[in-house]
A and B are shown apart, each in its own frame.
Chain A
Amino acid sequence: MQKSYYAMKCALIMLLLLVCNIAFAQVQITGTVSDDSGPVPGASVIIKGTTKGVKTDVNGKYSINAAKGEVLTFSFVGDLPQEVTIADQTVINIKLAVNNTQLGEVVVTSFGIKRQARSLGYATSTVTSKDITEAGNTNFASALYGKVPGLKVVTAPGGASSAVNMQIRGVNSINYQQQPLIVVDGVIMRNENQTGSNGVNNNGYWDDQRIRGNGILDINPDDIESISVLKGASATALYGSDATFGLIVITTKKGAKGKGPTVDFNYYGTRERAAFLPKFQNIYGQGYDRATNAAVGATEDGWIPDANSPSGFRPNFRAYADFGPKMDGQQVQWWDGSIRPFSPQPNNYKDIFRTGYSSLANVAVSNQTDNYNYRLSASRLDYGSIQRESGLQKNTFSLNSSIKLSKRVSVDLIANYVNTLTHNRPYQTYQLNSSYDGFFGRQEDMNLIRQKSQTSQGYDWVPYNQKSRNPAEAFMFNVRPNLYDYFWTTLKNTYDENENRLYSSGTLNWEIVDHLKFRGRMGNDFTSRSSEQKDYNQYAAAFNPSNSSTGSYGVTSGIYSIVYGDALLTYANKIKDFDYSVSAGFTSRSERYKDESSSTANGLVTENWFTLNNSYGILNTSFNRQYLLKYGYFGILDLSYKNYLFLEGTVRQESASTLPAQNNTYYYPSVNGSFVFSDAFKDHMPSFLSYGKLRAAYGVVGNPALIYTSNIVYNQSSLQTVTAGSVPQLTIPSDYGNSNLKPEMKHEGEVGLETRFLNDRIGIDVTYYNNRTKDIIMPLQIASSNGARSQIVNAGEIGNHGWEIALNASPLNGTFKWQTRLNFAFNRAKVYSLAPGIPQLVFYSAEQDAIRITAKPGEELGNIYVNPIATDSKGNKMVDGTGLYVIDNSTYVKAGNVLPKVTGGFSNSFSYKNFSLNVLIDYRLGGQIVSTPQKYGMGAGLYENTLKYRDAAHGGLSYYVNSAGTYVPTAGAAGPGGEKVYHDGVLLPGVLANGQPNTQIIQASTYYFNMFQWGQTADNQDGAIYNNSYVKLRELTLGYTLPSSVSKALGVNNLRFSLIGRNLFYIYRTLKNLDPETMIGSQWWRQGVDEGTMPATRSYGFSLNASF
Chain B
Amino acid sequence: MKKTILNISLVLSLLVTFTSCKKSLTNYYNNPEKSTTASVPTLFTGMLNDDRVRPAYWNLRTYLMIQAAIYSQTASFPNSGNAYQQNDGYTGQYWSDFYYPAGNGSGPLGTYRTMEQVYNSLPADQQANQAVFMQAAKVFLYERTAKMIDAWGDIPFSEAGNLETHSTIKDPKFDDAKTLYSTLISGLNDAATYFSTASNLPANVKAAFAKQDILLSGNLDMWRRYANSIRLRLLMRTSFVDEATAKTAVTTMLASSASYPLIDGGNVGNYNPATSDVLLQPLSTNLNSPLNAITEGGSYSAPDYMLNTVMLPANDPRIPVIFAKYGNPTYKAMPITFTADQQENNYTKYSIVDSTTFLNNIKLPGILITAAEVNFLKAEANERWGNDADAQTNYNTALQQSVSFFYYLNAIGGGKVPYPSASTISTFVNSSTAAFSGTSTQKLGLIWTQKWLNYGFMQADEAWSEYRRTKYPQLTFVNQTQAGYQIPPTRLVYPSVESSNNSNYNTVRGKDTRTTKIFWDVK
Q: What is A's interface to B at a CB cutoff of 8 Å?
A: 3-4, 6-7, 9-10, 13, 17, 291-292, 295-298, 304, 318, 465, 478, 545-548, 586, 588, 590, 601-602, 616-618, 624-629, 631, 655-661, 664, 707-708, 711-716, 719-724, 727-734, 736, 738-739, 780-789, 791, 793, 837, 839, 842, 845, 848-849, 852, 880, 882, 884, 1010, 1015, 1017
**Interchain nearest-CB distance for B311 vs A (Å):** 25
Does the CB pair B502–A785 fall under 8 Å? yes
Given A730-B43, A848-B496, also A787-B31 (CB < 8 A): no
Does the CB pair B20–A727 fall under 8 Å? no
Does the CB pair A657–B46 fall under 8 Å? no
Does the CB pair A732–B339 fall under 8 Å? no
CB-based nearest A residue for B342 = A297
Does the CB pair B481–A295 fall under 8 Å? yes
Given A721-B283, A785-B498, also A708-B96 (CB < 8 A): no
Interfacial chain B residues near A852, Cβ < 8 Å? 500
Interface residues of B in 188-225 (CB under 8 A from A): 210-212, 214, 217
Would you call B163 an interface residue if the criterion is a C-beta within 8 Å of the partner chain's C-beta atoms? yes
Interfacial chain B residues near A628, Cβ < 8 Å? 28
Would you call B107 an interface residue if the criterion is a C-beta within 8 Å of the partner chain's C-beta atoms? yes
Does the CB pair B20–A3 fall under 8 Å? yes
CB-based nearest B residue for A661 = B26
Does the CB pair A9–B163 fall under 8 Å? no
Q: Apart from A296-B339, A848-B89, what are 14 other A-B pairs with CB-CB below 8 Å?
A: A3-B20, A6-B21, A7-B17, A295-B79, A664-B26, A664-B29, A714-B43, A719-B45, A722-B281, A723-B214, A732-B110, A732-B114, A793-B169, A852-B500
| Partner of B502 from A3, A655, A783, A1010 at Cβ < 8 Å | A783
Does the CB pair A714–B29 fall under 8 Å? no
Interfacial chain B residues near A625, Cβ < 8 Å? 32-33
Bound: A292/B341 CA distance, A: 11
CB-based nearest A residue for B20 = A3
Does the CB pair B9–A1017 fall under 8 Å? no
Given A730-B45, A784-B497, also A712-B156 (CB < 8 A): no
**Interchain nearest-CB distance for A743 vs B (Å):** 13
Would you call B422 an interface residue if the criterion is a C-beta within 8 Å of the partner chain's C-beta atoms? no
Does the CB pair A664–B110 fall under 8 Å? no
Does the CB pair B101–A734 fall under 8 Å? yes
List 21 A–B pairs whose Cβ atoms lie within 8 Å, in order of A's numbering: A3-B20, A4-B20, A6-B16, A548-B287, A586-B14, A602-B287, A617-B285, A629-B21, A713-B35, A719-B45, A719-B283, A720-B285, A722-B282, A729-B43, A732-B43, A783-B497, A784-B497, A786-B171, A787-B161, A787-B163, A882-B483
Given A292-B81, A601-B287, A602-B287, also A787-B29 (CB < 8 A): no
Interfacial chain A residues near B160, Cβ < 8 Å? 785-787
Does the CB pair A730–B46 fall under 8 Å? yes
Does the CB pair B20–A6 fall under 8 Å? yes
Among A715, A852, A882, A1010, the most chain B Cβ lie within 10 Å of the Cβ of: A715
Would you call B276 an interface residue if the criterion is a C-beta within 8 Å of the partner chain's C-beta atoms? no
Would you call B95 an interface residue if the criterion is a C-beta within 8 Å of the partner chain's C-beta atoms? yes
Bound: A728/B44 CA distance, A: 10
CB-based nearest B residue for A881 = B483
Given A3-B23, A728-B42, A730-B45, also A785-B156 (CB < 8 A): yes
Bound: A1017/B35 CA distance, A: 45
Does the CB pair A616–B287 fall under 8 Å? yes
Interfacial chain A residues near B101, Cβ < 8 Å? 731-732, 734
Per-residue CB proximity of B331-355 to A under 8 Å, as 1/0?
0000000011110110110000001
Interfacial chain B residues near A10, Cβ < 8 Å? 10, 13-14, 17
Given A730-B38, A787-B99, also A296-B340 (CB < 8 A): yes
Does the CB pair B45–A655 fall under 8 Å? no
Does the CB pair B31–A786 fall under 8 Å? no
How many residues does chain B have at the interface if contact means C-beta atoms less than 8 Å apart? 105
Bound: A729/B347 CA distance, A: 44
Interfacial chain A residues near B362, Cβ < 8 Å? 547
Bound: A974/B273 CA distance, A: 70
Among A545, A618, A788, A839, the most chain B Cβ lie within 10 Å of the Cβ of: A788
Interfacial chain A residues near B340, Cβ < 8 Å? 295-297
List the 8 closest A-B pairs by CB distance, nearest first: A297-B341, A783-B502, A785-B156, A657-B28, A713-B34, A849-B496, A787-B161, A783-B501
Q: What is B's interface to A at a CB cutoff of 8 Å?
A: 6, 9-10, 13-14, 16-17, 20-39, 42-43, 45-46, 49, 79, 81, 85, 88-89, 92, 95-96, 98-103, 106-107, 109-111, 113-114, 155-156, 160-165, 167-172, 210-212, 214, 217, 281-285, 287-289, 291, 339-342, 344-345, 347-348, 355, 359-360, 362, 414, 481, 483-484, 496-503
**Interchain nearest-CB distance for B127 vs A (Å):** 19
Interfacial chain A residues near B162, Cβ < 8 Å? 786-787
Does the CB pair B169–A791 fall under 8 Å? yes
Does the CB pair A789–B289 fall under 8 Å? no
Bound: A736/B21 CA distance, A: 27
Bound: A724/B111 CA distance, A: 22
CB-based nearest B residue for A848 = B88
CB-based nearest B residue for A628 = B28
Given A291-B481, A849-B496, also A722-B99 (CB < 8 A): no
**Interchain nearest-CB distance for A847 vs B (Å):** 9
Interfacial chain A residues near B283, Cβ < 8 Å? 719-722
Bound: A290/B501 CA distance, A: 41
Interfacial chain B residues near A297, Cβ < 8 Å? 339-342, 345
**Interchain nearest-CB distance for A490 vs B (Å):** 22
Given A732-B110, A789-B96, also A655-B35 (CB < 8 A): no
| Partner of A545 from B22, B45, B291 at Cβ < 8 Å | B291
CB-based nearest A residue for B107 = A732
CB-based nearest A residue for B45 = A729
Interfacial chain A residues near B81, Cβ < 8 Å? 292, 295
Does the CB pair B31–A708 fall under 8 Å? yes
Does the CB pair B163–A791 fall under 8 Å? yes
Interfacial chain B residues near A839, Cβ < 8 Å? 503
Does the CB pair B21–A588 fall under 8 Å? yes
Bound: A1015/B360 CA distance, A: 34
Does the CB pair A842–B500 fall under 8 Å? yes
Interfacial chain B residues near A586, Cβ < 8 Å? 14, 17
Bound: A784/B109 CA distance, A: 11
Does the CB pair A624–B33 fall under 8 Å? yes
CB-based nearest B residue for A296 = B341
CB-based nearest B residue for A886 = B483
Among B156, B342, B497, the most chain A Cβ lie within 10 Å of the Cβ of: B497
Bound: A664/B503 CA distance, A: 33
Bound: A783/B212 CA distance, A: 31
Interfacial chain A residues near B88, Cβ < 8 Å? 848-849
**Interchain nearest-CB distance for B25 vs A (Å):** 5
Does the CB pair A711–B214 fall under 8 Å? no
Bound: A624/B348 CA distance, A: 48
Interfacial chain B residues near A786, Cβ < 8 Å? 99, 160-163, 169-172
Bound: A1065/B483 CA distance, A: 44
Bound: A719/B339 CA distance, A: 45
Bound: A624/B38 CA distance, A: 21
Does the CB pair B284–A787 fall under 8 Å? no
Does the CB pair B214–A657 fall under 8 Å? no
| Partner of B100 from A616, A713, A788 at Cβ < 8 Å | A788
Does the CB pair B20–A731 fall under 8 Å? no
Interfacial chain B residues near A295, Cβ < 8 Å? 79, 81, 339-340, 481
Bound: A658/B89 CA distance, A: 32
Does the CB pair B281–A711 fall under 8 Å? no
CB-based nearest B residue for A618 = B285
Given A10-B14, A711-B29, A739-B167, also A3-B24 (CB < 8 A): yes
| Partner of A4 from B24, B46, B501 at Cβ < 8 Å | B24
Does the CB pair B497–A787 fall under 8 Å? no
Interfacial chain B residues near A7, Cβ < 8 Å? 17, 20-21
Does the CB pair B287–A547 fall under 8 Å? yes
Interfacial chain A residues near B95, Cβ < 8 Å? 784
Bound: A10/B11 CA distance, A: 9
| Partner of A546 from B156, B360, B502 at Cβ < 8 Å | B360
